Amino acid sequence: MKAALIGPDGAPLHQARRATGREHGPDAVVEAILGFAADLRAHGIAHLGESAAAAGVSVPGIVDADRGLAVYAANLGWRDVPLRELLTRRLGLPVALGHDVRTGGLAEGRIGAGQGADRFFFVALGTGIAGAIGVDGRVEAGAHGFAGEIGHIVVRPGGTPCPCGQRGCLERYASASAVSEAWAATSGTPGADAADCARAVDSGDPRARQVWQHAIDALADGLVTALTLLDPRTLIIGGGLAEAGDTLFTPLRTAVQQRITFQKFPDIVPAALGDTAGCLGAGLLAWDLPTVTDLTEATP
């Protein structure tokens, strides 16, 4: 878990990290979150001379932000945790709850790589692929909290089965995990990962180039669908695969450019905030709470 005390401009004043303790089960994780937040609040009073005005928390999986529920997370094992209510009770502060990728996207769009872009799309290429649709400084969650799930756009109809129930989903081809698997199989090196593949691409290995281009073609197909629907000004790409830098971005820009016809070519930029994006975004969510804005404006 990453946590921070965050000023009104989004700047972190104090940062900390702690283990979730997920090996002790979902209740322990919830208690760890509550305790971490309470300690952070106490740190603000002790070392910064004032209490936090609000708290924001972002969690993985399925999140119902309106009702303040952490609905489901496969890797944490929880279901329908009323996290906002629990935190509000523990901290005595207004609390905002968000989804990790959408919250990370919010931070990238507002204070990271998007630099305040009015329309952006953030894509995280990690174990899976998820996205966040940024509109006027906010992130669109959709009617049911599923907006932006670009990883499950079908790019290869009838292709590789996906745990979501479809076949040929983008994340089966272009996630960091998919590239790692493909490169481990092709290179014959168990445990070889996407970063190894990128290094092999840089050193001119033709087998690596083939694996890499296969992923880039799928990614470009998926991104063009997103561009067609959303017309973003900026396309921000993060997650493990984006750490390959120009090895990813140069051929990706070319592949997208080759596919578009009437669509406008957006700025395609690497994410800037790394693994702190979700944490910083949670802080922005807290500052965005209407009660907090009122408080700030009321303070002379």
The residues of the shown chain that bind Zn ion, judged by CB under 5 A, are 152, 162, 164, 166, 169
- 184 three-state secondary structure: helix
Beta bridge partners, 154, equal: 169
- 10 three-state secondary structure: coil
Give me the half-sphere count of Cα atoms (radius 13 Å) on the Cβ side of residue 240. 17
- Determine contact, residues 280/13, Cβ cutoff 8 Å: no
- How far is 91 from 87, CA to CA, in rounded Å? 6
- How far is 298 from 300, CA to CA, in rounded Å? 6
Least gap, CB of 181 to Zn ion (angstroms):
15
Least gap, CB of 248 to Zn ion (angstroms):
22
- How far is 117 from 72, CA to CA, in rounded Å? 31
Beta bridge partners, 267, equal: 234
Least gap, CB of 219 to Zn ion (angstroms):
15
Nearer to Zn ion (CB atom), residue 11 or residue 164: 164
Nearer to Zn ion (CB atom), residue 107 or residue 169: 169
| Nearest alpha-carbon partner for 130 in 146, 111, 116, 106 | 146
Nearer to Zn ion (CB atom), residue 81 or residue 169: 169
Nearer to Zn ion (CB atom), residue 42 or residue 164: 164
Residue written as token pair 């596919």: 259
Name, in order, each residue with C-beta under 8 angstroms of 233's C-beta and a sequence gap of 6 or more. Answer: 117, 118, 119, 120, 266, 267
Least gap, CB of 62 to Zn ion (angstroms):
14
Nearer to Zn ion (CB atom), residue 40 or residue 125: 125
- How far is 130 from 101, CA to CA, in rounded Å? 7
Least gap, CB of 229 to Zn ion (angstroms):
17
274 phi, psi to nearest 5 deg: 60, -145
- How far is 296 from 300, CA to CA, in rounded Å? 8
Nearer to Zn ion (CB atom), residue 68 or residue 168: 168
Nearer to Zn ion (CB atom), residue 58 or residue 175: 175
